Structure formats: C-alpha cells, structure tokens
Amino acid sequence: MSLIRQNLQAITATIVAATQESQRPAGAVQLLAVSKTFGPEAVLEAVAAGQRAFGENYLQEGLDKIRAVQEAGAPALEWHFIGPIQSNKTRPIAENFAWVHTVEREKIAQRLSEQRPDGMPPLQICLQVNISGEASKSGAAPEEVAALAHKVAALPNLTLRGLMAIPEPAEAFAQQRAAFAQLRTIYEQLRADGLALDTLSMGMSADMRAAIFEGATMVRVGSAIFGARNYLKA
C-alpha cells in the first residue's frame, strides 16, 4: 500500500475519532489535502485512495498541477486556493478554483466575483482572519470581519461559506484550542447576525484535533499526508 494511502487512512481515522470524542455528528469534518510543493503524481496517488479535495498555495504551481492531473485522466477534483492573493492574479484563481480560503480584502473579493466565468458555479469563499493579532500575519483583523463578510456575501458570483485562520503554532492542546475558539466565536457571531455560514476552515497537521474540538468543518492537512516539504526543490 502506498505511503500516501496509509497516511490518508490514518488521518481519516484521527478525524473520525476526534469528531466522536468532541460529540459532533459523523461526517461533520471534511479533509482538504494540501498538496503544495508535491507533484501531480502525489495528487494522483491521493486520488487513487479516494481523496477529491485539494489545496494549493502558490498560483502557478497550482495551475500547472491542475492541468497535469486533468491530462492524466483524473476524475473531477475540487481545488481550493489557500495561499496569499495578489490583486493582479485574481483572474486565474477565479477561473480555475472552486474555493478560495484566503480572502481578506473587499477589493480582492470584488475582482474574484467579476472574473468568475459565466456558467461556472459561484466561487466558494472563506474570509481569512488574523486571530493571532500579529502585524506580519495575513488575514483581516477580527473587528473588520463583520463588515467585510456582509460586503462579500452580497457579491453576485461568490458564495460566502465561512472563515479560515492559521493560528500561531502552539504545542499545548489547550493553547491550540484557545486560538481556534476565537475564530469560532467570530463565526457564531456572524451566523447570529444572519449570515448563512457553514464552514470553519481551521486545523493543520499539527493541530487538527484541537481544531475539530472547537468546531472545524474543514481541516487543511499537508505534511501528515504527503510528508515533509522540501521548499528548495519546489
């Protein structure tokens, strides 16, 4: 059995166990396989093991991979853009991805909506929130999120699905949970405010259990599936 298939099985088991332990309904947590820096052959191995949703951070790498995987005859896959977005690079994102997790400004959302091709379903959007409060990190400030969410929800070719965050790495489970709880609180406030959100994109290889305990509906897992990344090679 391939290592990627083994890893996917182990992660699926972890997700199922954490979902049960946190008394959430079966199937409440979806796995997004983050394939950045790994080639199309790694994606195809994951596809063979049943995985269909993939996340990419770097636009050109992602576009090349989407094309290569299609040309290799893969079934229809769901591609999520999860990297920083430059405003002059929104068009290929709007044309080639099903989801974008890293919207943090109204201008980017407007461009994605304008550039989403006719005939494609609306682009599914998560707003990235900077819950760690560090100036260097991306994401909208928590106090800006409500206004941004209402503007994005009104754009015609986008569907606002929820929120995403990448907290500061923390070792302790309780500390990991505390960061995710902040995102969950903002999410619950937006829902109480009438926005029909259903997605909390949070949790990666090192902290997915804590994220599931705090209500993650999508965990974004890379290295635990594909192995350690080699950025020099990428």
Ligand X SMILES: *Cc1c(COP(=O)(O)O)cnc(C)c1O
Cα(31)–Cα(9) distance, rounded to whole angstroms? 11
- In contact, 149 and 127? CB cutoff 8 Å: yes
79-98 residues near ligand X, rule: CB under 6 A: 82
Among the candidate windows 150-158, 178-186, 189-197, 220-228, which touches ligand X by CB under 6 A? 220-228
Nearest residue by C-beta to ligand X? 222
Q: Which is nearer to ligand X, 82 or 186 (CB)?
A: 82
Question: According to CB under 6 A, which one of 166, 190, 200, 211 is a site residue for ligand X?
Answer: 166
Write out the chain in H/E/C secondary structure.
CCHHHHHHHHHHHHHHHHHHHCCCCCCCCEEEEECCCCCHHHHHHHHHCCCCEEEECCHHHHHHHHHHHHHCCCCCCEEEECCCCCHHHHHHHHHHCCEEEEECCHHHHHHHHHHCCCCCCCEEEEEEECCCCCCCCCCECHHHHHHHHHHHHCCCCEEEEEEECCCCCCCCHHHHHHHHHHHHHHHHHHHHCCCCCCEEECCCCCCHHHHHHCCCCEEEECHHHHCCCCCCCC
Does residue number 199 form part of the binding site for ligand X (CB under 6 A)?
A: no
Question: According to CB under 6 A, which one of 18, 34, 47, 149 is a site residue for ligand X?
Answer: 34
Does residue number 204 form part of the binding site for ligand X (CB under 6 A)?
A: yes
How many residues sit close enough to ligand X to count as binding (CB under 6 A)? 13
Q: Which is nearer to ligand X, 137 or 150 (CB)?
A: 137
**What is the closest distance, in whole angstroms, from the C-beta atom of residue 33 to ligand X in the complex?**
9
Write out 125-168 in H/E/C secondary structure.
EEEEECCCCCCCCCCECHHHHHHHHHHHHCCCCEEEEEEECCCC
What token pair was written down for 162?
Answer: 């929820």
Does residue number 223 form part of the binding site for ligand X (CB under 6 A)?
A: yes
**What is the closest distance, in whole angstroms, from the C-beta atom of residue 223 to ligand X in the complex?**
3
Among the candidate windows 142-150, 153-161, 180-188, 202-210, which touches ligand X by CB under 6 A? 202-210
Among the candidate windows 12-20, 139-147, 153-161, 201-209, which touches ligand X by CB under 6 A? 201-209
94-153 residues near ligand X, rule: CB under 6 A: none
In the shown chain, the binding pattern of residues 35 to 64 toward ligand X, with x for contact by CB under 6 A and - for none, equals -x--------------------x-------
Q: Which is nearer to ligand X, 57 or 130 (CB)?
A: 57
Does residue number 221 form part of the binding site for ligand X (CB under 6 A)?
A: yes
Q: Which spans of this chain sit near ligand X (rule: CB under 6 A)? A: 34, 36, 57, 82, 166, 204-206, 220-224
